């Protein structure tokens, strides 16, 4: 009976812990988001864009609607944030990580730009997929 109770207790404890692979995935996705933050705060939009899937199928949804493709998304960022003053300092608050498949996560968070010309903030949802061994943002809905 004692062995049974110990087994049940261990099962209950481990059932509440994320799978080791999932925690490693989340750590790598957090690192991807850190790469974005560092690049943005250095004024490096191209570096920021390395975290996105370099494909015509990349989907970005913003206040102006849908944008398809990595290049078009880059051009929009450059147009809307032409210099460091417009870019400000970016911070993320990552709120949710939902595993959708072995190679896909849905991530929800809050973004904040601290700027001398006025702060901005909003929320985002991302689909992040493992492509060629690397995690990449394949869809971004930011508001």
Q: Does domain 19-142 have CATH number 3.30.2130.10?
A: no
Q: pLDDT tens across 33-88, in order?
A: 999 999 999 999 999 999 999 999 999 999 999 999 999 999 999 999 999 999 99
Q: How far is CA 47 from CA 12, 34, 82, in A?
A: 43, 12, 15
* pLDDT score for 7: 35
Q: How confident is the model at residue 22 (pLDDT cuts 50, 70, 90)?
A: confident
> Exposure pattern of 20-32 as b/e (b: 16+ CB <10 Å)?
eeeeebbeebeeb
Residue 122 neighbours by CB under 8 Å, 6+ apart: 110, 111, 142, 143
> Exposure pattern of 78-109 as b/e (b: 16+ CB <10 Å)?
eeebeeeeebbebebeeeebeeeeeebbebeb
* pLDDT score for 10: 34
- Domain residues of the chain, as ranges? 19-142
pLDDT exceeds 60 at position 103 = yes
Cβ atoms within 10 Å, residue 59: 17
Q: pLDDT: is 7 or 122 the higher one?
A: 122
């Amino acid at each position: 009976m004692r062995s049974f109770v110990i087994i049940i207790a261990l099962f209950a404890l481990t059932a509440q812990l994320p799978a080791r692979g999932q925690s490693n995935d989340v750590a790598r996705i957090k690192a991807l988001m850190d790469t974005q933050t560092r690049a943005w705060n250095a004024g490096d939009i191209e570096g920021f864009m390395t975290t996105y899937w370099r494909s015509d199928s990349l989907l970005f949804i913003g206040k102006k609607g849908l944008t398809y493709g990595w290049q078009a998304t880059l051009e929009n960022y450059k147009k809307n944030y032409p210099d460091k003053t417009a870019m400000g300092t970016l911070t993320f608050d990552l709120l949710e990580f939902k595993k959708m498949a072995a190679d896909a996560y849905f991530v929800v968070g809050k973004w904040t730009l601290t700027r001398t010309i006025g702060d901005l903030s909003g929320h985002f949802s991302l689909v992040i997929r493992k492509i060629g061994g690397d995690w990449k943002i394949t869809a971004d809905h930011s508001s």
